[in-house]
Chain A
Amino acid sequence: MRPRNALRVEDLTVAFRGGHAVVRGVSFEIAAGEAFGLVGESGSGKSLTCRAVLRLLPRGAAASGRVTYGGRSLLELGATEMQALRGSTIAMIFQDPMTALNPVLRVGEAIAQVTQAHEGLGARAARVRAVEMMERVGIRDAARRAAAYPHEFSGGMRQRIHIAMALAARPTLLLADEPTTALDVIVQAEILRLLDDLRREEGMSLLLVSHDVRVVAGLCDRVGVMYAGELVEVGPTRTVLRRPEHPYTIGLMNSLPEAVIDERLRAIPGVPPDPGRLPPGCAFAPRCELAIDACRAAPIGMSETVPGHWSRCIRTDRLDELRRGLAAADSVHT
């Protein structure tokens, strides 16, 4: 088995040429074998953060900061080295499996190409491995179905094939960008379970990006919440969910229907800010009940409220008022 490594992201910033930073100084770590969830709404920068690790940014976007994996600084690697890394050491899966699946390639062939490219397997050995992978991701009658084309499979199946392709070369880090967002409820649970099982079996680290904190809650050890390009809270899943330390996180959870019983949903008023028009202080301040002048004056840094749990909020002492609603809902559902 390949050596297990830690992913370290330090002060990552992604900006479009001539534009504003859409990812601003994001820092987090994923230990070897750990599952880390990155949660945020559209525009929070979570997808770009994920892509920046593999340097798969859209045209015109540039990343700065430091991203290290296993001691190697990824942002500084040459193009060929980066290419060798992608798919073999670090793999990525996307929301739409058709991003990876070539519609004119039989799926078995598509998976086989990964191992041929990265592990130098011969055609026959690669095909055997491809069928193995298909079985591992739960496709029945894999040998026969390896000859089928992507359009002959349903959405959930295609996502499984996509995962098979990503894992064919046995990467040690898997980046998953909204892998289940387009899937039905039951299929979503199956795919998440698949990811979880495979992760444990391979000892792989996982970065799971989602707009739904509940998805991340299912299988991630630690979670980071992003808002307006920044991480506003990071910590173990259990504590972030049970005792969130940032008003946005609380707001997010409060706006879910399961958080209320026979009352109004507590929606967060307002809308997320335009990256070009960020307020000088805390980006969430305009929508926050607890905001004071100090919040609006200057950018807020991350502070460790509880060991291992970080928050970008200076009003954590007043969060109990907001958390009240959560505690009430929680007690009913346990």
Chain B
Amino acid sequence: MLLVAEGLTKTYAHRRGWAPTLGGRRVHDVVRPALADASLSLERGESLGIVGESGSGKSTFARCISLLERPDAGRVLLDGTDLTALGAGALRRSRRRIQVVFQDPYASLNPRLTVGSTLREVLLVHRLVPREQVALREAELLDQVGLPARAVDRYPSDFSGGQRQRICIARALAADPEVLIADEPVSALDVSIQAQILNLLADLRSQLGLSMIFISHDLHIVRYIAPRIAVMFGGRIVETLPPGVPLESARHPYTQALLASRSRLEPGWLAGAAQLNADLSASLPTVGCPFRGRCPHAFAPCRDVDPPARDIGQGHAVACHFVAGASRS
């Protein structure tokens, strides 16, 4: 097992300033964690997809796995090494092993550095190639992501969104990572460019044997790239679909709602789509199943106990009392 994340939890508290305020400190009520006891495992060369909407905790999960933020609880083991236990220096050195491609290609590149400088810095800081070979490696990386060698002297502003994302991917590859986390890498791009980047990621994965975690709100994109899918809601993984299990076989009410609501190429699909009919503006409950406010099947246990993930066959896991009850009977 290359990467194991165990029980990652992260809460963003509303912090008051360090100086006492005029009105005194207010005892703030319990804040729902952005990420609650989330775990995953990734084999070498495997691709895992994470699907979730905004607020599902998927980005927090990505940041905690890559240790860009320290989780409040839980561990992250990379090839046996506990990254959460590392000191600052050792952690910094280990960072190159897990690389992230972010959502916004326009903000992710330093506008004052040329493409070449950006790539060179990675190679030199981590001493990945001897100095004489740096230029060669830069050209290699650019070629791998489908950019011409002359891009080396250009600034990010000379490139379009899709091309900038390629540069970001090249930068991530320059670090020679073992795990690549792609956090909504195509959401900010046009549809026809999305396909190009998705193809690129798929190609790189097979050429380089990369282990990948692909995060998106789009079920179809995730299914295309990753055979195994984890669905997140309210800071938890609510369903895990193994390869081979079609999306349509999803059992968690939230996944089913996602499937029913997704836009498709079918004319007039809206008329036939199921309706959730819940007040989506209400904030999520802090106790029990986070989905219970919107779930058509919510019943007594949902209010008190956060459902644990239960395997319902061949690695298909669902965290739902209703589904657990149904599969038992």
> Which residues of A are interface residues toward B (Cβ below 8 A)?
41-42, 139-140, 153-157, 184-190, 192-193, 196, 211-215, 217-219, 237-238, 241-242, 251-253, 255-260, 264-269, 271-272, 330, 333
Contact = CB atoms under 8 A, between A and B. Distances in A.
B198 A265 contact: yes
Interface stretch (B31-39, B122-130, B185-193, B306-314): B185-193
Residue among A238, A266, A267 with the highest chain B CB neighbour number at 10 A: A267
Contacts of B194: 255
A193 B264 CA distance: 14
Given A190-B275, A260-B224, A264-B202, 5 more contacts: A153-B281, A185-B53, A185-B262, A192-B263, A219-B268
B184 to A, nearest CB: 13
23 contacts: A42-B190, A153-B281, A154-B281, A155-B54, A184-B217, A190-B276, A190-B280, A192-B263, A212-B263, A214-B263, A215-B263, A217-B267, A217-B268, A218-B270, A219-B270, A253-B265, A255-B191, A255-B192, A256-B265, A257-B221, A258-B264, A267-B192, A267-B196
B198 A257 contact: yes
B257 interface: yes
Contact of A241 (B221, B263, B265): B265
B270 A196 contact: yes
A238 B267 contact: yes
Given A217-B264, A256-B265, A257-B223, A211 B270 contact: no
Contacts, number: 131
B281 A267 contact: no
B63 to A, nearest CB: 20
Contact of A186 (B160, B199, B202, B257): B257
Contact of B190 (A153, A188, A211, A238): A211
B304 interface: no
Contacts of B195: 255-256, 265-268
Interface of B: 53-54, 160, 162, 190-196, 198-199, 202, 217-221, 223-224, 257-258, 260-271, 273, 275-276, 279-281
Contacts of B266: 217, 241, 333
B169 to A, nearest CB: 15
Given A185-B53, A211-B190, A257 B220 contact: yes
A187 B192 contact: no
Nearest to A265: B195
A256 B190 CA distance: 11
Contacts of A251: 192
A173 B280 CA distance: 28
B53 A258 contact: no
Contacts of A193: 270, 273, 275
B276 A258 contact: no
Nearest to B56: A184
Contacts of B268: 217-219, 237-238
A28 B192 CA distance: 24
A139 B202 CA distance: 43
B54 A184 contact: yes
A227 B160 CA distance: 17
A65 B212 CA distance: 51
A214 B32 CA distance: 34
A238 B268 CA distance: 8
Nearest to A254: B195
A189 B192 contact: no
Contacts of A217: 263-269
A153 B279 CA distance: 12
A98 B322 CA distance: 39
A186 B192 contact: no
Q: What are the 4 A-B residue pairs with the smallest beta carbon separation, nearest first?
A: A255-B195, A267-B195, A218-B270, A189-B261
Contact of B273 (A153, A156, A189, A266): A189
Nearest to B279: A140
